[in-house]
Amino acid sequence: MVVSFSVSKPGKVPLVCVAYAPDPGHLFCRPYEPEEPEEPVPAAVPVVVSARDVASLMVEGSGITRQPPGTTARVDMDLIAYTDPSTRSLSTTVAGTLVEVEATPASYHWDWGDATTTTTTSPGAPWPHQTVTHRYHHPQTGVHLTLTTTWTARYRPQDGTWHDVQGTVTTTQQSDTFDLVATTTHLTDHAEHTQGH
């Protein structure tokens, strides 16, 4: 039989003693040492990615392609414009945690450089399946297209679940400049020309 008890006197170090039967007259004592309290486990830092964080990762817009290409475009003819609607895969580190970010275009605002604009959810497409076009009516030099793309985004910590980013992100870019030229039509009498008249 084992009996365990503590002995404590004012001003003295408390003792913890153990008596073993059948000879309880012998005590084995040691100074009482209180158990160290367990250190609390720090709470996990929540990983949050803001729209501003995503904007800092978006170094490029969705791109601008114009048809016909080149340094000139004709007035009174449709100009075709389109962009890349692909989702961007990005990454960043928040509180020491690797985070995946995906940004997807949601809408497109085209400024045609002649005081007119078009806003659409279509990224456009090349000829002959074009969906975004514009027709100029006056010659002009140094024209460029400006595209503002609005993106939605989501993120997930490494091996975690996806979360939507609150708010949206915008990117803005410009095309190379080009000149608008008018088409001049000359009427000729081919028959008289061949006869030398």
**pLDDT higher than threshold 50 for residue 3:** no
DSSP 68-96: S-SSEEETTSEEEEE---PPEEEEEEETT
**pLDDT higher than threshold 70 for residue 37:** yes
How open is the CA angle 116-175-68, to the nearest 5 degrees?
Answer: 85
Using a 10 angstrom Cβ sphere, with 0-12 exposed, 13-18 middle and 19 or more buried, the burial of residue 66 is: middle
Residue 56 CB partners (closer than 8 Å, separation 6+): none
Query: How would residue 2 be classed by pLDDT, with cut points 50, 70 and 90?
Result: very low
In the chain, % of residues over pLDDT 90:
65
Using a 10 angstrom Cβ sphere, with 0-12 exposed, 13-18 middle and 19 or more buried, the burial of residue 45 is: exposed
Q: Are 130 and 118 in contact (CB under 8 A)?
A: no
Pairs from 37-43 (Cβ < 8 Å, separation ≥ 24) = none
51-181: what fold? Immunoglobulin-like (2.60.40)
Query: Across residues 114-139, what is the average pLDDT?
Result: 97
How open is the CA angle 184-75-85, to the nearest 5 degrees?
Answer: 145
Give residue 138's pLDDT. Answer: 95
Give residue 40's pLDDT. Answer: 74
Give residue 46's pLDDT. Answer: 81
Query: How would residue 111 be classed by pLDDT, with cut points 50, 70 and 90?
Result: very high
pTM of the model: 0.72
**pLDDT higher than threshold 60 for residue 24:** no
Using a 10 angstrom Cβ sphere, with 0-12 exposed, 13-18 middle and 19 or more buried, the burial of residue 110 is: buried
pLDDT tens track for 143-189? 999 999 999 999 999 878 999 999 999 999 999 999 999 977 656 66
Beta strands 133-135; 117-120: pairing state: unpaired
Beta strands 140-143; 178-181: pairing state: antiparallel
Query: Across residues 79-105, what is the average pLDDT?
Result: 96
Q: Are 26 and 3 in contact (CB under 8 A)?
A: no
Beta strands 78-82; 146-157: pairing state: unpaired
**Structure tokens given for 104:** 């997807």
- For the chain, give every domain's residue range: 2-31, 51-181
**pLDDT higher than threshold 60 for residue 139:** yes
